[in-house]
Amino acid sequence: MPKRLSLKRLSVDMVKSLLQLIEDEVKESSHKKKRGRPRVYSESFILLVFFIKVMRGCSFRDTVFYLEEILNLKIPAISTLHYRFSKLNVSHFEKLFEKVLEKLGVQDTLEIMVVDGTGFGYDEKQRLNWMRGKKIREVSSHVKVEIIVGRKEKGGESILVGVGMGPAYSDERKLLLELIENTGIKARCVIGDALYGMSMESLEKFFERSDFVLVPVRDTLHTKMMNPMRKKVKQMYEANREKYRERYVVEQVIGKIKNAYGRCEGTKSFEMAKKSVWVKMILYNWIRLIFLFTLIRRAFLYRRLFQPLRWFSYYQDNE
C-alpha cells in the first residue's frame, strides 16, 4: 500500500467523506428538548472531532488547537467536547463500521475467516506504554476486543468483518459467540487458536459459518477425546497444518492498528476507551476503502487517456 495511504496519514477530508456515509443515519433526536439550550454542534461534527482526536493521538487541548489554528474551524470548549464525547452513542460507531463494510462489498462467502482476541489499555497511559509480558497482563484497566478478519481471495487484503468488545479479562469465547451471532458472513475456511477448541459451542458456531474448520484440538494428558465433532476438527487440523499458518493475518491486522494509533487510550473511563477503540477499527477498514477507490479511479483515468490513442491506432492500420 502506498505510504500516502498508510493508516497514520489519513487526511481530514478522508475522515469527512467517511462521516458523510452515515450522516443521514446519525440524526439528532426528532422530539424537541423540553429543557436546556438547543445543540450548537451537530452529532456528525462531534463525531468528526472525535475521529480526528483518535487518529492523531492528541489530547483534548491539542485537538482544539489543531482544529482552530490549522483547520480554522469553530470548535467548542474542552469541557463541552468532553461532555459531548461521553454522550456519543456506541450505536453510531457500529453503524459506521457496518456502512464501511457494506461499501467494501463484504457480503459474499470469504476465502478465509480468522478469529482472535486482543486488548487496549486505558487510564494510566504512560505507565502502560513501558509495561511488557506478565505485568501488562495484570492490568485491569483495558478493553477486551474480539475480532474477525476475513479475506475475499487468496493473498487479498485483510478486512475486519466483525468486532466485539467487553470489560477486562472477558472470556474471548463468549464474546465470539455473540459476535458470530450478529455476523452473517460465511467463509470457505475458519481458523482459530487452541482456546476455541476447548469450547464445543465455539466449534458448533464455526461449522455454521464453514464446512472447513482449522482449530488445534489435542488429547489431554490422561484422556483422549471422544466427541465426534472434536475428532473431526482434530483430523482437519492435522491434515492441514500448512493452511493453519494463515492465522498470521489476524496478528498482522492487530499489529497494524496498534502501531498506527497506539495500544493505550488516553482516557480514564471504560466507555470512552471503548469508543476510541471503535474509531481505530473503523479507520482500519476505511483506508482499505480509500485504496480501493483510488485503484478504480486510476483504472478509469487510464482508460479515458488511452482510448483516443487506440482509436487513432485503429484508423492508421486501416489506412
Per-residue pLDDT reduced to its tens digit, 178-222: 998 888 888 999 999 989 988 889 999 999 989 999 999 887 766
Residue 132 · residue 66 · CB < 8 Å: no
User: 214: helix, coil or strand?
Assistant: strand
CA distance 22 to 14: 14
Residue 75 lies in a domain: no
Cα dihedral 235, 236, 242, 248 sign: negative
Q: Which residues face 148 on adjacent strands?
A: 115, 162
User: Which helix (H) or strand (E) segment is 273 a member of?
Assistant: helix 270-318
The pLDDT of residue 313 is above 60? no
Residue 19 lies in a domain: no
Residue 210 lies in a domain: yes
Residue 273 lies in a domain: yes
Q: Please, what's the b/e burial string for 202-226 (b: 16 or more CB within 10 A of its CB; e: otherwise)?
A: bbebbeebbeebbbbbeeeeeeeee
Residue 99 lies in a domain: no
pLDDT in the model for residue 113: 93
Instruction: Look up the domain containing 254 and give its range.
Output: 108-292
Single-letter amino acid code for the residue at 133: G
Residue 188 lies in a domain: yes
- pLDDT digits over 234-257, tens only? 999 999 999 999 999 999 999 999
Number of domains observed in the structure of the chain: 1
Band of the pLDDT at 21, cuts 50, 70, 90? low
For 147, the grid coordinates are: 475480532
Number of helices (H) and strands (E) in the chain: give both, helices first. Answer: 14, 6
pLDDT in the model for residue 70: 76
Antiparallel, parallel or unpaired: β 213-214 and 264-265: unpaired
Residue 48 lies in a domain: no
Residue 201 · residue 173 · CB < 8 Å: yes
Residue 13 lies in a domain: no
For 317, the grid coordinates are: 492500420
> What is the percent of the chain with per-residue pLDDT over 70, rounded to a whole number?
74
